[in-house]
Amino acid sequence: MKVPIKVFLVEDSPVALTILQRILASSPEIEIVGTASDGISALKHIPRLKPDVVCTDLLMGKMDGLELTKKLMAEFPKPILVISDVVTANDTQKIGQLLDAGIVDVFPKPTTGFIQDYEQQKNDLIYKIKIISGVKVFTKRNYERNHINNNRKTDTSQRLLRRTTTEPALTVGQNTNYKPLINQKITNYQIVAIGVSTGGPKAMQQIVSKLPANFPLPIVCTQHISTGFLKSLISWLSLETKLKIKIAELGEKPLPGIVYYAPEQYHLEIDNKGRFAYSQAPPIDSHCPSVNIMMQSLAQFYGKSTIGILLTGMGKDGVTGMQDIYHSGGLTIAQDEASSIIFGMPQEAIKSGIVQQVLPLKDIAPFLIRQVGY
């Protein structure tokens, strides 16, 4: 019998805590090992109970979710899922700080507090916890970390998370279906397509923070993230880069030096005039927006002028899109196992034989800069 995932809940609302306990107790794969109403109490119990995942509210009395995250990452690192109904500008700022402090993901708490609204999200929450339990923390982060500026250098020794399995990564040299890079003119590239899921905020931070303000291509990203948190992510990333970051607008044409994110609850495409279009098609493999739909659309319009990048994440979303980019003559890149929080999406693309470059996260931005002629 599979060992259940041990979860510790931190929630200051007795009603919300009771509902969360009920939801998680419905899964035989999850065991709630403890609860607390604030961060101070949580810190007293977590070292002893050794949970696999910590789920915490954001706004609490004695110690909030941000302070708890910092303390845990410094003293007892664990994968952390923030469950919050973030709605105000101040909370948006805190979500960015949480991402920087080392949380794995965020999950929306129903704003009504009604049991039925929680029940509707039950399967999504349980699935999210299962994914996060497959991530481990392997180094400590300095609790008294200095403020970060746009010119900072990434310290790989501070990278907190990587997947738990020890299955070796495929490399380009091991991939018998590998097709070497053809001699394309670097000026041929017109757009970069990026697909990412779990671990995406930190991965994107490492990439965009290293790109110059005059990067000559538009970047289009589809990120799997809980509904309601995309604007918080963009606000945080905007402080980490000289590039402009925004949600792609309907009818807008992608411009160089701008990072466009697919909107929540819509698939992002490019129409036959090169403008962004939204699709209300059903979710693809439970994902909306879908990396595959975005990449396939860009490959169809831009052809060999497309650079496709698949980053950390669970599942196979993006593999079909990367195949289309590859067969159109574009450039395909996957993040390597060692730097991936979850080596699912990149690994599946590599296995399919269409990835031309497998790179550590820290090398992706420098590689892009070289490819576009800098």
The catalytic residue positions are 197, 224, 317
Neighbours of 166 (CB within 10 A): 6
- Counting Cβ atoms within 10 Å, is residue 130 exposed (0-12), middle (13-18) or buried (19+)? middle
At 299 the three-state DSSP class reads: helix
The two three-digit tokens of residue 35, written as one number? 């609860």
> Residue 66 CA to chain centroid, in angstroms?
19
Alpha helices (H) along 32-88: 39-49, 65-75
Vertex 71 angle, CA 102 and 203, to 5°: 5
Alpha helices (H) along 176-277: 200-208, 230-238
* SS3 readout for 302-365: HHHHEEEEECCECCCCCHHHHHHHHHCCCEEEEECCCCCCCECHHHHHHHCCCCCEEECHHHHH
- Rounded Cα distance between 242 and 265, Å, is 27
225 and 184 Cβ atoms separated by less than 8 Å: no
- Rounded Cα distance between 99 and 93, Å, is 10
